[in-house]
Amino acid sequence: MARKFFVGGNWKCNGTLESVSKLVDTLNAGAIVSTDIVEVVVAPPFIHLPLVKDRLRKEIQVSAQNCWVKKGGAYTGEVSAEQLVDLGIPYVILGHSERRHIMKESHDFVGQKCAYALSKGLKVIACIGETLEEREAGDTIKVCAEQLTAIKEAIGENWSEVVVAYEPVWAIGTGKVATPEQAEEVHAELRKWLAENVSAEVAEATRILYGGSVTAGNCKELAKKPNVDGFLVGGAALKPEFIDIINSAQSKVAA
């Protein structure tokens, strides 16, 4: 079965009540292709989740950007998977490079978070990717494999509700997008890793997104690559061009 194209918008730590309301209005007014060919998810900051969930058109799902690694309780500042489920939020982004590098989340910690979120019924957008230094040392696949291994050790064969987002750190927020060939090369290796380390079925079914300076201008060529199953978008997800990125699903269908 063909993998459904997936476009996620990660709003990161951006937005006021006013700007988030305007962005929701923009997304509600945009002409988007059928959800038969694309799954769309946006991830506002925790504080704006209820507003976005209530007001956003129902073809677009809502995700959190993080959640706690276990059941809630005395963990000041955290939000639990149970609380997200209670709010009716279906997705959570875990392992984003900003959390791995700035908040020092280890591979194992990210794996445990994935396992706990899945066990509570959340779908997971699991982010992986190498730094510029690691790429230049020829370690891109090694680093991604280490990140995937930690997830696999925590979740086992349970990948049906996982979307993998390959986000090279050097491409995030820098304007330096990976070329379609660079993205395809890594995505193909990641799918091979899944086939060899999880199963052929999981490798075939799992969506692998590209993230890092995706824009309306570069998304169509990236979308045509066979192992690029969609995008996780940062900066451009805050702008009207996010609609064009959603609609790049048509380039995939035509490819």
Residues noted as catalytic:
96, 167
For residues 214 and 173, the answer to whether their CB atoms sit within 8 Å is no
Kindly report each contact of residues 190-196 with a partner whose C-beta sits within 8 Å and lies 24 or more positions away, as own/partner. 190/128, 190/144, 190/148, 190/164, 190/166, 190/227, 191/227, 193/141, 193/144, 193/145, 193/148, 194/148, 194/159
The least CB distance from residue 245 to ligand G3H, in Å, is 10
Beta strands 230-233 and 38-43 are unpaired
* CB-based closest residue to ligand G3H: 234
The least CB distance from residue 93 to ligand G3H, in Å, is 7
| CA pseudo-torsion sign 183, 189, 194, 195 | positive
The least CB distance from residue 174 to ligand G3H, in Å, is 7
Q: Considering just the CA atoms, what is the radius of gyration of the chain in Å? A: 17
Cβ nearer to ligand G3H, comparing 100 with 107: 100
**Binding region for ligand G3H (CB under 6 A):** 10, 96, 167, 172-173, 211-214, 232-236
Main-chain phi, psi angles of 186, to 5 degrees: -70, -45
d(CA 224, CA 80): 37
| Helical residues (DSSP H) of the chain, grouped into ranges | 17-29, 49-55, 81-87, 97-101, 107-119, 132-136, 140-155, 180-197, 200-205, 219-223, 242-247, 249-254
Cβ nearer to ligand G3H, comparing 171 with 198: 171
The least CB distance from residue 157 to ligand G3H, in Å, is 26
For residues 43 and 62, the answer to whether their CB atoms sit within 8 Å is yes
Cβ nearer to ligand G3H, comparing 145 with 172: 172
The least CB distance from residue 210 to ligand G3H, in Å, is 9
Cβ nearer to ligand G3H, comparing 111 with 234: 234
Cβ nearer to ligand G3H, comparing 10 with 61: 10
The least CB distance from residue 85 to ligand G3H, in Å, is 22
- Three-class SS of residue 212? coil
d(CA 30, CA 201): 35
